[in-house]
């Protein structure tokens, strides 16, 4: 049996949860999320906690059991507190601005790079820091990765878009003998 899956998920104050078969939905101050649990996993609400149980065989059942519990826990934290990822712009003339739900970046190309925020995602820009936030952990991480992929940090000058606190290993340039 999965050690992670055994732990019950505490439902935070202000969050309402509905379980309909394998479909779990949660609504809280930061938003609303719904997901379908893996085939061998079931969930039930007992005493202000959500208990995730497994019905499958030993190998796949326990791995999906832990996965289902982790997804439910991420959902509870997302609708109550939310998730955010900070990205740093490094480079001369690199800047970003938010207009409505669209992030517009000038990052050294001949044209500005634009990202439309998916439903539930918010962008914020302060100086050279871009903050991607929202209730869905997977979606926040995916959007941040796509923004970073538009100009990943390069090893020679170090310019590009990087996660806050990310260390980029620098290489020595060419030398004249």
3-state SS class at 69? helix
Instruction: Look at residue 176 and tell me if it is in a domain.
Output: no
| pLDDT, tens only, 36-88 | 998 888 899 998 899 988 886 666 677 788 888 999 999 999 999 999 999 99
Q: Structural domain tally of the chain?
A: 2
* CATH value at residue 62: 3.90.930.12
**pTM: predicted TM-score of the whole model, two decimal places:** 0.88
| 49 shares its domain with 70 | yes
Instruction: Look at residue 171 and tell me if it is in a domain.
Output: no
| 63 shares its domain with 125 | no
Helix (H), strand (E), coil (C) string for 11-58: CCCCCEEEEECCEEEEEECCEEEEEECCCCEEEEEECCEEEEEECCCH
Domain residue limits at 73: 3-80
3-state SS class at 149? helix
More confident residue, 129 or 47: 129
Q: What is the mean pLDDT of residues 150-163?
A: 93
């Amino acid at each position: 049996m999965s050690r992670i899956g055994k732990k019950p998920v505490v439902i935070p104050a202000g969050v309402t949860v509905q379980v309909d078969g394998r479909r779990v939905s949660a609504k809280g101050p930061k938003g609303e999320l719904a997901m379908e649990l893996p085939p061998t996993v079931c969930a039930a609400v007992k005493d202000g906690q959500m208990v995730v149980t497994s019905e499958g065989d030993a190998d796949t059942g326990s791995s999906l059991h832990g996965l289902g519990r982790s997804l439910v826990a991420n959902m509870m934290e997302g609708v109550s507190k939310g998730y955010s990822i900070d990205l740093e712009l490094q480079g001369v003339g690199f800047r970003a601005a938010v207009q409505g739900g669209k992030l517009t970046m000038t990052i050294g190309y001949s044209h500005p790079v634009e990202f439309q925020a998916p439903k539930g995602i918010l962008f914020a820009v302060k100086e050279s820091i871009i903050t991607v936030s929202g209730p869905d952990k997977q979606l926040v991480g995916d959007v941040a990765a796509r923004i970073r992929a538009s100009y990943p940090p390069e090893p020679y000058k170090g310019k590009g878009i990087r996660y806050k606190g990310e260390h980029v290993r620098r290489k020595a340039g060419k030398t004249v003998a």
